[in-house]
Amino acid sequence: MADEESLISTALADLDTAAEILNLDPSCHAVLRHPQRTLTVSVPVRMDDETIRVFTGHRVHHSYVRGPSKGGIRYHPSVTLDETTALAMIMTWKCAVVDIPLGGAKGGIVCNPKSMSLGELERMTRRYIFMIMPLIGPEQDIPAPDIYTDAQTMAWIMDTYSMFKGYSVPGVVTGKPVNIGGTLGRKAATGRGCMFVVLEALKHLGMRRKGSTVAIQGYGNVGSNVACFLQEKGLKLIAASDSRGGVMNLKGLDARKLVSHKEKTGTVVGYKASKEISNEELLELDCDVLIPAAIENVITRRNAANIKARILAEAANGPVTAQANRILDESGIFVLPDILANTGGVTVSYFEWVQDIASHFWTEEDVNIKLENVIMKAFKEVVENSKKHELNMRLGALVLAVDRVAAAFITRGLFP
């Protein structure tokens, strides 16, 4: 039985709540509670020392009623089937919130990529793709990068899939290098999308941009990009952290210089003119905007009551547990849920897929303008839906997404 604080429990509890609000048909509700496909595979890999290690990999399709499924592949020791299933479900809601014609998927391998060589990672990737090949393709499931996978990983996936097809298939993955069919603007897309919703939230709440304070837990690609974008808009970064610890300066940190420091040292810790703090302390700082941008379940029933931010923007997937959600709501914190706040990445992935299929590529300016239009429309629709049902933003976004997916399922009907 899943732990009450687990990501799958949170995801299922969220769906159940949305179904109750919508008075969803019980049969449709039951279908949405289960992934449409699940595959677990053994991934034997020849290591550099000539031994063979067998890793476990997963790929889950939660829904493809609105279009091909879409979702990242992560390499991490904590990957589980439950986690992968929950993340696939969350991806379904993300795609529906921004109203792009895709469903949700997720994949992962249980491994420690930090202890593996580049050659081992390549061989593991290619074997894993061979094992899940019946499930992926531009018409049915399009993977993307996630934790500890990147553009190079996607290049190996594209090449492996293309070798079996006998011709290049750039549309099989997104997040690829630009020279093999990737899109401009993809790397910063999740951070840029989060920036758009934070700025809209400030406006919605009547808060000033200039001088509003920001704390970011997880200063990786997403966290650092959103920090830099918000700094350009006049907000002040006062704290940031990564897996090794955090730094704080209430007078402000320079987001771009902090990126340079991390690139040189591998961590934000040790940045000049700053005080060291823990990840736990960062989450409880008094700030205007708190952005958890690392992993899931960092805000739980144990620390939710200590959150002091006015706005909490979930740049990570599932950083807040179900019980913590209720505590944050009672505290009056304006939560921008992950299915809205971090949809910039999947939106630009969708753009990349469209460009690959058309073999016609856009400028970075075009990508960013289209992204802003999609995110702004989604924010407005979530606000309107929240008011319509008298809900907070989290439930407003979720109800909007579940309603769209359920409507597609009902319209299509059940085969046979």
Same domain, 230 and 166: no
Place of tokens 């002091």: 308
* Joined tokens for residue 56: 């476990």
Closest C-alpha to 5, from 346, 357, 351, 323: 323
Using a 10 angstrom Cβ sphere, with 0-12 exposed, 13-18 middle and 19 or more buried, the burial of residue 118 is exposed
Banded model confidence at residue 2, pLDDT cuts 50, 70, 90: very low
Residue 109 in any domain: the answer is yes
Specify the pairing of strand 289-292 against strand 311-313: parallel
Q: What is the mean pLDDT of residues 90-101?
A: 96
Flag whether 416 is in a domain: no
Q: How far apart are CA 314 and CA 11, in angstroms?
A: 15
Are residues 344 and 193 in contact, defined by beta-carbon separation less than 8 angstroms?
yes
Whether residues 110 and 222 fall in one domain: no
The backbone torsions φ and ψ at residue 305, rounded to the nearest 5 degrees and listed phi first, read -70, -15
pLDDT, average across residues 267-274:
90
Query: Do 332 and 214 fall within a single domain?
Result: yes
Tens of pLDDT, residue by residue over 219-268, are 988 999 999 999 999 999 999 999 899 999 999 999 999 999 999 999 99
Q: What whole-number percentage of the chain has pLDDT above 90?
A: 87
Which residues are the active-site residues? 106
pLDDT of 141 above 50:
yes
How far from 99 is each of 63, 118, 231, 259, 273, CA to CA, in Å? Answer: 14, 37, 29, 33, 44
Tell me: the pLDDT tens digits for 159-168?
999 999 999 9
* Residue 5: pLDDT band with limits 50, 70, 90: low
| In a shared domain, residues 81 and 164 | yes
Q: Mark whether 120 and 202 lie in a shared domain.
A: no
Q: Which of 287, 312, 341 is the last residue of a domain?
A: 341
Domain count, the chain: 2
- Are 219 and 142 members of one domain? no
**Which of 144, 173, 202 lies at the terminal end of a domain, its last residue?**
173
Instruction: From 371, 359, 356, select the one nearest 154 (Cα to Cα).
Output: 356
pLDDT at site 360: 95
CA–CA distance, 70 with 84 (Å, rounded to integer): 13
Choose the final residue of a domain: 341, 362, 384. 341
225 shares a domain with 116: no
Same domain, 74 and 162: yes
- Residue at 356 is within a domain: no
Considering the domain boundaries, does residue 401 fall inside one?
A: no
Write the CATH number for 168.
3.40.50.10860
Q: Name the percent of the chain lying above pLDDT 70.
A: 99
Q: Are residue 137 and residue 220 in the same domain, yes or no? A: no
How far apart are the C-alpha atoms of 284 and 309, rounded to whole Å? Answer: 8
CA dist list (Å): 224 to 52, 228, 338, 344, 364: 37, 6, 17, 15, 19
pLDDT tens-digit series, residues 17-58: 999 999 999 999 999 999 999 999 999 999 999 999 999 999
Q: Which of 301, 375, 294, 305 is nearest to 339 (CA)?
A: 375
What is the C-alpha to C-alpha distance for residues 306 and 309, in angstroms, rounded to an integer? 9
- Domain span at 121: 7-18+35-173
The answer as to whether 111 is a domain residue is yes
Q: On the CB side of 10, how many CA atoms lie within 13 Å of its CA?
A: 27
Mean pLDDT of 272-278: 90
Residues 228 and 165 in one domain: no
Residue whose entry in the numeric block shows the structure tokens 């409507």: 407
Residue 77 maps to a domain: yes
Beta-bridged to residue 165, according to DSSP, are none
Give residue 1's pLDDT band: very low, low, confident or very high (50, 70, 90): very low
Buried b or exposed e, range 296-315, using 16+ CB within 10 angstroms: bbbbbeeebeebebbbbbbb
Q: What is the pLDDT of residues 343-365, one digit of tens each?
A: 999 999 999 999 999 999 999 99
- 156, part of any domain: yes
Q: Are residues 242 and 292 in the same domain?
A: yes
- In this structure, what are the phi and psi dihedrals at residue 220, rounded to the nearest 5 degrees? -95, -150
From CA 294, how far away is CA 378, in angstroms rounded?
A: 23
Supply the Cα-derived Rg of the chain in whole angstroms.
21
- Whether residue 199 lies inside any domain: the answer is yes
- Across the chain, mean pLDDT equals 94
| 103 and 227 together in one domain | no
What are the structure tokens assigned to 251, written together?
A: 């007078």
Query: In this model, does residue 323 exceed pLDDT 90?
Result: no
CATH number at residue 267: 3.40.50.720
